[in-house]
Chains A and B, each alone.
Chain A
Protein backbone atom coordinates (compact mmCIF):
# COMPACT_ATOMS: atom_id res chain seq x y z
CA UNK A 1 0.00 0.00 0.00
CA UNK A 2 1.54 3.24 -1.14
CA UNK A 3 0.18 6.56 -0.08
CA UNK A 4 1.17 10.17 0.25
CA UNK A 5 -0.26 12.57 2.74
CA UNK A 6 -1.35 16.14 2.10
CA UNK A 7 -2.39 18.47 4.83
CA UNK A 8 -5.77 19.94 4.02
CA UNK A 9 -7.57 22.80 5.66
CA UNK A 10 -9.57 22.63 8.88
CA UNK A 11 -7.76 19.81 10.61
CA UNK A 12 -8.11 17.41 7.74
CA UNK A 13 -5.51 15.38 5.96
CA UNK A 14 -5.82 13.99 2.46
CA UNK A 15 -4.30 10.59 1.80
CA UNK A 16 -3.59 9.71 -1.82
CA UNK A 17 -3.64 5.94 -1.78
CA UNK A 18 -2.46 3.53 -4.43
CA UNK A 19 -3.68 0.01 -3.77
CA UNK A 20 -1.30 -2.84 -4.65
CA UNK A 21 -2.49 -5.42 -7.16
CA UNK A 22 -2.53 -8.36 -4.76
CA UNK A 23 -5.03 -6.66 -2.57
CA UNK A 24 -7.25 -5.72 -5.50
CA UNK A 25 -7.10 -9.30 -6.76
CA UNK A 26 -8.10 -10.63 -3.37
CA UNK A 27 -11.17 -8.43 -3.33
CA UNK A 28 -11.99 -9.22 -6.96
CA UNK A 29 -12.09 -12.87 -6.04
CA UNK A 30 -14.35 -12.17 -3.14
CA UNK A 31 -16.55 -10.07 -5.40
CA UNK A 32 -16.69 -12.90 -7.94
CA UNK A 33 -17.90 -15.32 -5.32
CA UNK A 34 -20.58 -12.92 -4.18
CA UNK A 35 -21.74 -12.12 -7.69
CA UNK A 36 -21.68 -15.76 -8.81
CA UNK A 37 -23.86 -16.74 -5.90
CA UNK A 38 -26.29 -14.01 -6.77
CA UNK A 39 -26.85 -14.29 -10.50
CA UNK A 40 -28.14 -17.03 -12.73
CA UNK A 41 -25.84 -18.05 -15.55
CA UNK A 42 -27.34 -20.70 -17.90
CA UNK A 43 -25.44 -23.95 -17.67
CA UNK A 44 -24.17 -23.31 -14.15
CA UNK A 45 -25.62 -23.77 -10.73
CA UNK A 46 -25.63 -20.65 -8.59
CA UNK A 47 -22.22 -19.88 -7.19
CA UNK A 48 -20.50 -22.46 -9.42
CA UNK A 49 -19.59 -20.37 -12.44
CA UNK A 50 -15.85 -19.77 -12.77
CA UNK A 51 -14.38 -16.30 -12.67
CA UNK A 52 -13.90 -15.86 -16.43
CA UNK A 53 -17.45 -16.90 -17.20
CA UNK A 54 -18.87 -14.50 -14.62
CA UNK A 55 -16.62 -11.75 -15.88
CA UNK A 56 -17.84 -12.31 -19.44
CA UNK A 57 -21.37 -12.39 -18.27
CA UNK A 58 -21.52 -9.23 -16.13
CA UNK A 59 -18.46 -7.37 -17.30
CA UNK A 60 -15.25 -6.59 -15.46
CA UNK A 61 -16.54 -3.19 -14.39
CA UNK A 62 -19.34 -4.76 -12.46
CA UNK A 63 -16.97 -7.02 -10.60
CA UNK A 64 -14.67 -4.10 -9.86
CA UNK A 65 -17.58 -2.09 -8.55
CA UNK A 66 -18.47 -4.94 -6.27
CA UNK A 67 -14.89 -5.33 -5.15
CA UNK A 68 -14.65 -1.63 -4.29
CA UNK A 69 -17.26 -2.03 -1.62
CA UNK A 70 -14.93 -4.06 0.51
CA UNK A 71 -11.64 -2.89 -0.91
CA UNK A 72 -12.04 0.82 -0.30
CA UNK A 73 -12.83 0.71 3.41
CA UNK A 74 -10.04 -1.79 3.97
CA UNK A 75 -7.48 0.15 1.97
CA UNK A 76 -8.39 3.42 3.63
CA UNK A 77 -8.34 1.77 7.04
CA UNK A 78 -4.88 0.35 6.47
CA UNK A 79 -3.59 3.63 5.08
CA UNK A 80 -4.98 5.62 7.99
CA UNK A 81 -3.42 3.21 10.42
CA UNK A 82 -0.05 3.33 8.69
CA UNK A 83 -0.15 7.10 8.52
CA UNK A 84 -0.32 7.32 12.32
CA UNK A 85 -3.34 9.60 12.30
CA UNK A 86 -5.00 9.16 15.68
CA UNK A 87 -8.53 7.89 15.45
CA UNK A 88 -11.34 10.39 15.70
CA UNK A 89 -14.17 7.90 15.11
CA UNK A 90 -15.11 9.96 12.09
CA UNK A 91 -15.48 8.03 8.87
CA UNK A 92 -13.16 9.45 6.20
CA UNK A 93 -14.58 10.95 3.06
CA UNK A 94 -13.46 8.74 0.20
CA UNK A 95 -13.18 9.27 -3.50
CA UNK A 96 -11.99 6.66 -5.98
CA UNK A 97 -10.01 8.54 -8.61
CA UNK A 98 -8.78 5.63 -10.71
CA UNK A 99 -9.66 1.99 -10.66
CA UNK A 100 -8.45 0.11 -13.71
CA UNK A 101 -5.82 -1.26 -13.84
CA UNK A 102 -4.55 0.46 -10.68
CA UNK A 103 -6.91 1.48 -7.93
CA UNK A 104 -6.24 4.97 -6.64
CA UNK A 105 -8.17 6.47 -3.76
CA UNK A 106 -8.25 9.91 -2.22
CA UNK A 107 -9.34 9.81 1.39
CA UNK A 108 -10.00 12.90 3.42
CA UNK A 109 -9.42 12.09 7.04
CA UNK A 110 -10.41 14.18 10.02
CA UNK A 111 -7.55 14.89 12.38
CA UNK A 112 -8.20 15.09 16.10
CA UNK A 113 -9.43 18.58 16.88
CA UNK A 114 -7.27 20.89 18.89
CA UNK A 115 -8.30 23.51 21.36
CA UNK A 116 -6.13 26.25 22.74
CA UNK A 117 -7.47 27.03 26.14
CA UNK A 118 -7.71 30.58 27.33
CA UNK A 119 -6.22 31.53 30.66
CA UNK A 120 -8.66 29.55 32.71
CA UNK A 121 -6.71 30.04 35.91
CA UNK A 122 -7.83 33.63 35.95
CA UNK A 123 -11.47 32.65 35.97
CA UNK A 124 -13.30 33.32 39.18
CA UNK A 125 -16.50 31.89 40.48
CA UNK A 126 -17.95 32.99 43.75
CA UNK A 127 -20.91 30.68 43.99
CA UNK A 128 -21.53 29.72 47.54
CA UNK A 129 -22.43 26.46 49.02
CA UNK A 130 -26.00 26.67 50.18
CA UNK A 131 -26.14 26.26 53.91
CA UNK A 132 -28.64 23.73 55.07
CA UNK A 133 -31.26 25.55 57.11
CA UNK A 134 -33.44 24.22 59.88
CA UNK A 135 -36.49 25.04 57.80
CA UNK A 136 -35.35 22.71 55.08
CA UNK A 137 -34.91 19.94 57.60
CA UNK A 138 -38.30 20.65 59.14
CA UNK A 139 -39.84 20.60 55.70
CA UNK A 140 -38.40 17.19 55.00
CA UNK A 141 -39.57 15.87 58.34
CA UNK A 142 -43.04 17.28 57.71
CA UNK A 143 -43.06 15.47 54.39
CA UNK A 144 -42.13 12.23 56.08
CA UNK A 145 -44.90 12.75 58.64
CA UNK A 146 -47.33 13.53 55.86
CA UNK A 147 -46.42 10.36 54.05
CA UNK A 148 -46.93 8.33 57.22
CA UNK A 149 -50.23 10.00 58.08
CA UNK A 150 -53.27 7.85 58.91
CA UNK A 151 -56.99 8.58 58.52
CA UNK A 152 -58.98 8.02 61.69
CA UNK A 153 -62.80 7.97 61.74
CA UNK A 154 -64.31 10.67 63.94
CA UNK A 155 -67.83 11.42 65.13
CA UNK A 156 -67.56 15.20 64.95
CA UNK A 157 -68.78 17.39 62.15
CA UNK A 158 -66.69 17.35 59.01
CA UNK A 159 -64.13 20.08 58.47
CA UNK A 160 -62.20 21.05 55.41
CA UNK A 161 -59.20 18.76 55.09
CA UNK A 162 -61.12 15.70 56.20
CA UNK A 163 -61.64 12.57 54.19
CA UNK A 164 -65.29 11.66 53.72
CA UNK A 165 -66.85 8.47 52.50
CA UNK A 166 -69.90 9.66 50.61
CA UNK A 167 -72.65 8.54 48.33
CA UNK A 168 -73.64 11.43 46.14
CA UNK A 169 -76.29 11.81 43.49
CA UNK A 170 -76.03 14.81 41.21
CA UNK A 171 -78.62 16.00 38.73
CA UNK A 172 -78.29 18.68 36.09
CA UNK A 173 -81.56 19.35 34.30
CA UNK A 174 -82.60 15.75 34.87
CA UNK A 175 -79.31 14.31 33.73
CA UNK A 176 -77.06 12.40 36.07
CA UNK A 177 -73.95 14.29 37.01
CA UNK A 178 -70.91 13.22 39.02
CA UNK A 179 -72.49 10.32 40.85
CA UNK A 180 -70.46 8.58 43.53
CA UNK A 181 -71.33 5.38 45.34
CA UNK A 182 -69.50 5.05 48.65
CA UNK A 183 -66.39 6.79 47.35
CA UNK A 184 -63.75 8.56 49.34
CA UNK A 185 -63.75 12.29 48.94
CA UNK A 186 -61.07 14.62 50.22
CA UNK A 187 -62.77 17.82 51.25
CA UNK A 188 -60.11 20.35 50.45
CA UNK A 189 -60.70 24.08 50.43
CA UNK A 190 -61.06 25.35 46.87
CA UNK A 191 -61.29 21.86 45.42
CA UNK A 192 -62.55 21.85 41.84
CA UNK A 193 -63.77 18.28 42.11
CA UNK A 194 -66.46 17.62 41.05
CA UNK A 195 -67.40 21.31 40.90
CA UNK A 196 -66.08 24.29 42.84
CA UNK A 197 -67.94 24.75 46.12
CA UNK A 198 -68.81 21.07 46.59
CA UNK A 199 -66.25 20.54 49.35
CA UNK A 200 -67.43 23.64 51.22
CA UNK A 201 -71.00 22.32 51.19
CA UNK A 202 -69.90 19.15 52.99
CA UNK A 203 -68.47 21.15 55.86
CA UNK A 204 -70.32 20.52 59.08
CA UNK A 205 -71.90 17.23 58.02
CA UNK A 206 -71.68 14.30 60.37
CA UNK A 207 -71.39 10.57 60.01
CA UNK A 208 -74.77 9.21 58.83
CA UNK A 209 -76.01 12.66 57.85
CA UNK A 210 -77.42 13.65 54.50
CA UNK A 211 -77.92 16.94 52.71
CA UNK A 212 -79.37 18.32 49.54
CA UNK A 213 -78.00 21.44 47.93
CA UNK A 214 -77.63 23.30 44.65
CA UNK A 215 -74.43 24.49 43.08
CA UNK A 216 -73.98 26.73 40.06
CA UNK A 217 -71.62 25.10 37.65
CA UNK A 218 -69.22 27.80 36.42
CA UNK A 219 -69.38 28.84 32.78
CA UNK A 220 -65.81 27.70 32.12
CA UNK A 221 -66.49 24.13 33.24
CA UNK A 222 -64.54 21.70 30.97
CA UNK A 223 -67.64 19.70 30.02
CA UNK A 224 -69.64 22.16 27.94
CA UNK A 225 -72.82 20.19 28.30
CA UNK A 226 -73.08 21.18 31.96
CA UNK A 227 -71.27 24.51 31.98
CA UNK A 228 -73.23 27.42 33.39
CA UNK A 229 -76.10 25.26 34.66
CA UNK A 230 -77.28 24.46 38.14
CA UNK A 231 -76.55 21.09 39.68
CA UNK A 232 -78.63 19.56 42.41
CA UNK A 233 -76.77 17.26 44.76
CA UNK A 234 -78.04 14.77 47.28
CA UNK A 235 -75.21 13.63 49.50
CA UNK A 236 -75.09 11.00 52.22
CA UNK A 237 -72.06 10.81 54.43
CA UNK A 238 -71.11 7.35 55.59
CA UNK A 239 -67.95 8.24 57.42
CA UNK A 240 -65.85 11.21 58.39
CA UNK A 241 -62.12 10.65 58.73
CA UNK A 242 -59.59 12.97 60.21
CA UNK A 243 -56.03 13.14 59.09
CA UNK A 244 -53.73 12.12 61.92
CA UNK A 245 -50.11 13.06 61.54
CA UNK A 246 -47.88 10.68 63.46
CA UNK A 247 -45.92 12.19 66.31
CA UNK A 248 -42.28 12.65 65.66
CA UNK A 249 -40.91 9.95 67.89
CA UNK A 250 -37.95 7.62 67.87
CA UNK A 251 -40.37 4.85 67.00
CA UNK A 252 -41.44 6.68 63.87
CA UNK A 253 -37.83 7.26 62.91
CA UNK A 254 -37.06 3.60 63.42
CA UNK A 255 -40.12 2.54 61.42
CA UNK A 256 -38.77 4.22 58.31
CA UNK A 257 -36.71 1.14 57.79
CA UNK A 258 -33.36 2.80 57.48
CA UNK A 259 -30.57 2.16 59.90
CA UNK A 260 -31.32 4.89 62.39
CA UNK A 261 -33.23 4.66 65.59
CA UNK A 262 -33.78 8.12 67.03
CA UNK A 263 -35.20 11.40 65.85
CA UNK A 264 -31.83 12.99 66.32
CA UNK A 265 -30.28 10.48 63.99
CA UNK A 266 -33.01 11.09 61.45
CA UNK A 267 -32.32 14.79 61.63
CA UNK A 268 -28.58 14.39 61.06
CA UNK A 269 -29.27 12.03 58.21
CA UNK A 270 -31.56 14.54 56.56
CA UNK A 271 -29.13 17.33 57.16
CA UNK A 272 -26.30 15.22 55.71
CA UNK A 273 -28.37 14.38 52.69
CA UNK A 274 -29.31 17.97 52.09
CA UNK A 275 -25.73 19.05 52.47
CA UNK A 276 -24.55 16.38 50.05
CA UNK A 277 -27.22 17.48 47.61
CA UNK A 278 -26.18 21.09 47.93
CA UNK A 279 -22.54 20.19 47.40
CA UNK A 280 -23.39 18.07 44.44
CA UNK A 281 -25.53 20.80 42.97
CA UNK A 282 -22.85 23.38 43.53
CA UNK A 283 -20.24 21.23 41.91
CA UNK A 284 -22.43 20.58 38.94
CA UNK A 285 -23.31 24.20 38.41
CA UNK A 286 -19.65 25.10 38.80
CA UNK A 287 -18.69 22.45 36.28
CA UNK A 288 -21.27 23.79 33.90
CA UNK A 289 -19.99 27.33 34.28
CA UNK A 290 -16.37 26.35 33.99
CA UNK A 291 -16.93 24.36 30.83
CA UNK A 292 -18.98 27.20 29.38
CA UNK A 293 -16.22 29.65 30.22
CA UNK A 294 -13.59 27.34 28.80
CA UNK A 295 -15.48 26.97 25.55
CA UNK A 296 -15.94 30.72 25.48
CA UNK A 297 -12.26 31.46 26.00
CA UNK A 298 -10.76 28.75 23.86
CA UNK A 299 -9.82 28.66 20.22
CA UNK A 300 -10.77 25.62 18.22
CA UNK A 301 -9.66 23.86 15.12
CA UNK A 302 -12.24 21.22 14.38
CA UNK A 303 -12.75 19.34 11.16
CA UNK A 304 -16.21 20.04 9.71
CA UNK A 305 -16.43 16.34 8.92
CA UNK A 306 -16.25 15.57 12.59
CA UNK A 307 -19.02 18.01 13.36
CA UNK A 308 -21.17 16.44 10.70
CA UNK A 309 -20.52 13.00 12.06
CA UNK A 310 -21.41 14.12 15.55
CA UNK A 311 -24.52 15.84 14.20
CA UNK A 312 -25.64 12.50 12.83
CA UNK A 313 -25.36 11.09 16.31
CA UNK A 314 -27.38 14.00 17.66
CA UNK A 315 -30.09 13.35 15.11
CA UNK A 316 -30.08 9.65 15.87
CA UNK A 317 -30.47 10.41 19.56
CA UNK A 318 -33.36 12.69 18.80
CA UNK A 319 -35.09 10.14 16.66
CA UNK A 320 -34.57 7.42 19.21
CA UNK A 321 -36.12 9.62 21.87
CA UNK A 322 -39.07 10.39 19.66
CA UNK A 323 -39.46 6.71 18.88
CA UNK A 324 -39.62 6.04 22.59
CA UNK A 325 -42.61 8.30 22.88
CA UNK A 326 -44.07 6.81 19.72
CA UNK A 327 -43.92 10.06 17.85
CA UNK A 328 -43.41 10.07 14.13
CA UNK A 329 -40.48 12.21 13.08
CA UNK A 330 -42.38 13.86 10.25
CA UNK A 331 -45.27 14.70 12.53
CA UNK A 332 -42.90 16.03 15.13
CA UNK A 333 -41.32 18.35 12.60
CA UNK A 334 -44.71 19.62 11.53
CA UNK A 335 -45.72 20.00 15.14
CA UNK A 336 -42.88 22.32 15.96
CA UNK A 337 -43.01 23.98 12.57
CA UNK A 338 -39.52 23.16 11.39
CA UNK A 339 -38.14 21.75 8.20
CA UNK A 340 -35.59 19.02 7.90
CA UNK A 341 -32.96 21.62 7.11
CA UNK A 342 -33.71 23.49 10.32
CA UNK A 343 -33.36 20.35 12.34
CA UNK A 344 -30.15 19.34 10.65
CA UNK A 345 -28.73 22.81 11.16
CA UNK A 346 -29.72 22.70 14.82
CA UNK A 347 -28.19 19.27 15.21
CA UNK A 348 -24.98 20.63 13.75
CA UNK A 349 -24.90 23.48 16.21
CA UNK A 350 -25.47 21.28 19.19
CA UNK A 351 -22.99 18.74 17.82
CA UNK A 352 -20.37 21.45 17.55
CA UNK A 353 -21.03 22.54 21.10
CA UNK A 354 -20.94 18.96 22.35
CA UNK A 355 -17.62 18.36 20.64
CA UNK A 356 -16.17 21.58 21.95
CA UNK A 357 -17.22 20.89 25.50
CA UNK A 358 -15.71 17.43 25.40
CA UNK A 359 -12.64 18.83 23.77
CA UNK A 360 -11.96 21.55 26.31
CA UNK A 361 -12.33 19.11 29.16
CA UNK A 362 -9.95 16.67 27.53
CA UNK A 363 -7.50 19.41 26.74
CA UNK A 364 -7.83 20.52 30.30
CA UNK A 365 -7.08 17.03 31.57
CA UNK A 366 -4.01 17.04 29.36
CA UNK A 367 -3.06 20.47 30.63
CA UNK A 368 -3.44 19.77 34.29
CA UNK A 369 -1.86 16.36 33.95
CA UNK A 370 -4.83 14.74 35.60
CA UNK A 371 -4.32 11.05 36.01
CA UNK A 372 -6.44 8.23 37.27
CA UNK A 373 -5.10 5.02 38.72
CA UNK A 374 -6.46 1.58 37.96
CA UNK A 375 -7.58 1.23 41.57
CA UNK A 376 -9.72 4.34 41.32
CA UNK A 377 -11.32 2.99 38.16
CA UNK A 378 -12.00 -0.32 39.86
CA UNK A 379 -13.52 1.45 42.85
CA UNK A 380 -15.80 3.53 40.65
CA UNK A 381 -16.90 0.49 38.72
CA UNK A 382 -17.68 -1.34 41.94
CA UNK A 383 -19.73 1.66 42.98
CA UNK A 384 -21.60 1.79 39.69
CA UNK A 385 -22.33 -1.89 39.91
CA UNK A 386 -24.22 -1.23 43.12
CA UNK A 387 -26.72 1.04 41.40
CA UNK A 388 -29.69 -0.76 39.89
CA UNK A 389 -28.99 0.76 36.51
CA UNK A 390 -25.78 -1.17 36.02
CA UNK A 391 -26.39 -4.12 38.29
CA UNK A 392 -26.92 -6.52 35.43
CA UNK A 393 -24.31 -5.17 33.13
CA UNK A 394 -20.86 -6.52 32.80
CA UNK A 395 -18.61 -3.57 33.47
CA UNK A 396 -15.50 -5.67 33.74
CA UNK A 397 -14.47 -5.07 30.16
CA UNK A 398 -11.63 -3.05 28.76
CA UNK A 399 -14.14 -0.82 27.05
CA UNK A 400 -16.07 -0.05 30.21
CA UNK A 401 -12.84 0.51 32.12
CA UNK A 402 -11.69 2.89 29.43
CA UNK A 403 -14.91 4.84 29.51
CA UNK A 404 -14.89 5.06 33.29
CA UNK A 405 -11.31 6.13 33.29
CA UNK A 406 -12.08 8.91 30.85
CA UNK A 407 -14.98 10.09 32.97
CA UNK A 408 -12.89 10.06 36.12
CA UNK A 409 -10.06 11.85 34.38
CA UNK A 410 -12.40 14.57 33.26
CA UNK A 411 -13.82 14.84 36.74
CA UNK A 412 -10.35 15.13 38.22
CA UNK A 413 -9.44 17.83 35.73
CA UNK A 414 -12.57 19.82 36.49
CA UNK A 415 -11.98 19.41 40.20
CA UNK A 416 -8.54 20.87 39.88
CA UNK A 417 -9.97 23.88 38.07
CA UNK A 418 -12.63 24.29 40.72
CA UNK A 419 -9.87 24.34 43.31
CA UNK A 420 -8.14 27.18 41.53
CA UNK A 421 -11.10 29.25 40.43
CA UNK A 422 -13.77 28.73 43.05
CA UNK A 423 -13.50 31.53 45.56
CA UNK A 424 -16.72 32.06 47.48
CA UNK A 425 -16.78 35.55 48.89
CA UNK A 426 -18.94 34.49 51.81
CA UNK A 427 -17.71 34.57 55.38
CA UNK A 428 -14.34 32.91 55.50
CA UNK A 429 -15.16 30.84 58.53
CA UNK A 430 -18.00 29.05 56.82
CA UNK A 431 -16.14 28.72 53.57
CA UNK A 432 -13.16 27.24 55.29
CA UNK A 433 -15.13 24.37 56.56
CA UNK A 434 -16.53 23.51 53.20
CA UNK A 435 -13.36 24.03 51.21
CA UNK A 436 -11.21 21.94 53.46
CA UNK A 437 -13.80 19.27 53.17
CA UNK A 438 -13.73 19.73 49.44
CA UNK A 439 -10.04 20.07 48.76
CA UNK A 440 -8.86 16.96 50.41
CA UNK A 441 -11.31 14.60 48.77
CA UNK A 442 -10.84 15.83 45.19
CA UNK A 443 -11.38 12.58 43.37
CA UNK A 444 -10.28 9.88 45.72
CA UNK A 445 -12.40 10.55 48.75
CA UNK A 446 -15.17 11.82 46.56
CA UNK A 447 -16.32 8.32 45.87
CA UNK A 448 -16.29 7.35 49.53
CA UNK A 449 -18.78 9.75 51.09
CA UNK A 450 -20.93 9.06 48.11
CA UNK A 451 -20.93 5.43 49.02
CA UNK A 452 -22.30 6.23 52.44
CA UNK A 453 -24.91 8.74 51.42
CA UNK A 454 -27.45 7.17 49.22
CA UNK A 455 -28.93 10.16 47.35
CA UNK A 456 -25.53 11.60 46.56
CA UNK A 457 -24.25 8.36 45.18
CA UNK A 458 -27.24 7.83 42.96
CA UNK A 459 -27.04 11.38 41.73
CA UNK A 460 -23.42 10.85 40.90
CA UNK A 461 -24.02 7.59 39.18
CA UNK A 462 -26.64 9.30 37.09
CA UNK A 463 -24.38 12.11 36.04
CA UNK A 464 -21.58 9.75 35.20
CA UNK A 465 -23.83 7.51 33.21
CA UNK A 466 -24.89 10.55 31.31
CA UNK A 467 -21.26 11.22 30.54
CA UNK A 468 -20.83 7.69 29.42
CA UNK A 469 -23.77 7.95 27.09
CA UNK A 470 -22.75 11.14 25.44
CA UNK A 471 -19.36 9.56 24.92
CA UNK A 472 -20.68 6.96 22.65
Chain B
Protein backbone atom coordinates (compact mmCIF):
# COMPACT_ATOMS: atom_id res chain seq x y z
CA UNK B 1 0.00 0.00 0.00
CA UNK B 2 1.29 3.43 -0.90
CA UNK B 3 2.37 5.31 2.24
CA UNK B 4 0.90 8.58 1.01
CA UNK B 5 -2.57 7.07 0.96
CA UNK B 6 -2.58 5.61 4.49
CA UNK B 7 -3.18 8.69 6.64
CA UNK B 8 -6.44 10.54 5.93
CA UNK B 9 -6.63 13.23 8.64
CA UNK B 10 -5.70 13.84 12.27
CA UNK B 11 -8.46 13.56 14.83
CA UNK B 12 -8.52 16.66 17.02
CA UNK B 13 -10.92 16.33 19.92
CA UNK B 14 -10.81 16.70 23.65
CA UNK B 15 -10.01 13.05 24.07
CA UNK B 16 -7.29 13.00 21.42
CA UNK B 17 -5.72 16.10 22.93
CA UNK B 18 -5.45 14.32 26.25
CA UNK B 19 -3.83 11.32 24.54
CA UNK B 20 -1.44 13.67 22.80
CA UNK B 21 -0.01 14.58 26.19
CA UNK B 22 1.07 10.90 26.54
CA UNK B 23 2.73 10.80 23.14
CA UNK B 24 -0.20 9.03 21.49
CA UNK B 25 -1.75 10.51 18.36
CA UNK B 26 -5.03 9.71 16.69
CA UNK B 27 -5.68 9.55 12.94
CA UNK B 28 -8.34 8.52 10.56
CA UNK B 29 -6.64 6.05 8.23
CA UNK B 30 -7.47 4.07 5.11
CA UNK B 31 -9.68 1.15 6.07
CA UNK B 32 -7.40 -1.29 4.28
CA UNK B 33 -4.22 -0.07 5.97
CA UNK B 34 -2.55 -2.51 8.35
CA UNK B 35 -0.91 -1.50 11.63
CA UNK B 36 2.47 -1.89 9.88
CA UNK B 37 1.38 0.42 7.08
CA UNK B 38 0.23 3.00 9.61
CA UNK B 39 3.46 2.86 11.61
CA UNK B 40 5.53 3.29 8.46
CA UNK B 41 3.38 6.08 7.17
CA UNK B 42 3.58 8.05 10.41
CA UNK B 43 7.34 7.57 10.64
CA UNK B 44 7.70 8.70 7.06
CA UNK B 45 5.39 11.70 7.33
CA UNK B 46 6.47 13.14 10.66
CA UNK B 47 9.99 11.84 11.12
CA UNK B 48 9.30 10.13 14.45
CA UNK B 49 9.67 6.60 15.89
CA UNK B 50 6.45 4.62 16.33
CA UNK B 51 6.40 2.00 19.10
CA UNK B 52 2.81 0.80 18.96
CA UNK B 53 -0.32 1.14 16.82
CA UNK B 54 -3.85 0.39 18.00
CA UNK B 55 -6.65 0.38 15.47
CA UNK B 56 -10.39 0.09 15.49
CA UNK B 57 -13.09 0.27 12.89
CA UNK B 58 -15.66 2.91 13.64
CA UNK B 59 -19.04 1.82 12.33
CA UNK B 60 -20.73 4.39 10.11
CA UNK B 61 -23.85 6.07 11.46
CA UNK B 62 -27.24 5.35 10.09
CA UNK B 63 -28.66 8.56 8.73
CA UNK B 64 -31.87 9.37 7.00
CA UNK B 65 -31.80 11.28 3.76
CA UNK B 66 -35.33 11.78 2.63
CA UNK B 67 -37.40 8.66 3.04
CA UNK B 68 -35.04 5.79 3.37
CA UNK B 69 -32.34 5.41 6.01
CA UNK B 70 -28.84 5.01 4.67
CA UNK B 71 -25.62 4.02 6.30
CA UNK B 72 -22.51 6.17 6.26
CA UNK B 73 -19.34 4.26 5.50
CA UNK B 74 -17.32 2.66 8.29
CA UNK B 75 -13.86 4.08 8.83
CA UNK B 76 -10.71 3.06 10.57
CA UNK B 77 -9.25 4.96 13.48
CA UNK B 78 -5.62 4.48 14.54
CA UNK B 79 -4.02 5.44 17.83
CA UNK B 80 -0.29 5.71 17.30
CA UNK B 81 2.08 5.62 20.28
CA UNK B 82 5.42 7.30 19.71
CA UNK B 83 8.76 6.75 21.31
CA UNK B 84 9.07 8.82 24.48
CA UNK B 85 10.02 12.40 23.63
CA UNK B 86 8.80 12.40 20.05
CA UNK B 87 6.00 14.80 19.17
CA UNK B 88 3.96 15.64 16.12
CA UNK B 89 3.74 19.38 15.51
CA UNK B 90 0.48 19.08 13.64
CA UNK B 91 -1.28 18.53 16.92
CA UNK B 92 0.80 20.82 19.05
CA UNK B 93 -0.30 23.91 17.22
CA UNK B 94 1.65 25.81 14.64
Q: Real complex partners, A and B? A: yes
Report A's interface with B, CB cutoff 8 A.
Answer: 43-45, 48-50, 52-53, 55-56
Report B's interface with A, CB cutoff 8 A.
Answer: 11-14, 16-17, 92-94
Of B11, B14, B92, the contact of A45 (CB 8 Å cutoff): B14
- Interchain nearest-CB distance for A356 vs B (Å): 57
- Interchain nearest-CB distance for A14 vs B (Å): 37
Q: Contact check, A55 vs B93: say whether CB atoms are below 8 A apart.
A: yes
In this complex, what residue of B is CB-closest to A60?
Answer: B94
Bound Cα distance A418, B12 (Å): 79
Q: Report chain B residues within 8 Å CB of A50.
A: 17
In this complex, what residue of A is CB-closest to B18?
Answer: A50
Total inter-chain residue pairs, C-beta < 8 Å: 19
Q: Report chain A residues within 8 Å CB of B13.
A: 43-44
Bound Cα distance A44, B11 (Å): 12
Q: Report chain A residues within 8 Å CB of B14.
A: 43-45, 48-49
Q: Contact check, A52 vs B93: say whether CB atoms are below 8 A apart.
A: yes
Q: Report chain A residues within 8 Å CB of B11.
A: 43
In this complex, what residue of B is CB-closest to A56?
Answer: B93
Bound Cα distance A52, B94 (Å): 8
Q: Which 7 A-B pairs have the closest CB atoms?
A: A52-B93, A43-B13, A44-B14, A48-B14, A43-B12, A56-B93, A50-B17
- Interchain nearest-CB distance for B87 vs A (Å): 12
In this complex, what residue of A is CB-closest to B17?
Answer: A50
Bound Cα distance A198, B14 (Å): 92
Q: Contact check, B12 vs A52: say whether CB atoms are below 8 A apart.
A: no
- Interchain nearest-CB distance for A59 vs B (Å): 11
In this complex, what residue of A is CB-closest to B20?
Answer: A50
Q: Contact check, A56 vs B94: say whether CB atoms are below 8 A apart.
A: yes
In this complex, what residue of A is CB-closest to B12?
Answer: A43
- Interchain nearest-CB distance for B86 vs A (Å): 18
- Interchain nearest-CB distance for B58 vs A (Å): 14
Residue contacts A-B, CB under 8 angstroms, 10 given: A43-B13, A43-B16, A44-B13, A44-B14, A45-B14, A49-B14, A52-B92, A53-B12, A53-B17, A53-B93
Beyond A43-B13, A44-B13, 16 additional pairs, beta carbon < 8 A? A43-B11, A43-B12, A43-B14, A43-B16, A44-B14, A45-B14, A48-B14, A49-B14, A50-B17, A52-B93, A53-B12, A53-B17, A53-B93, A55-B93, A56-B93, A56-B94
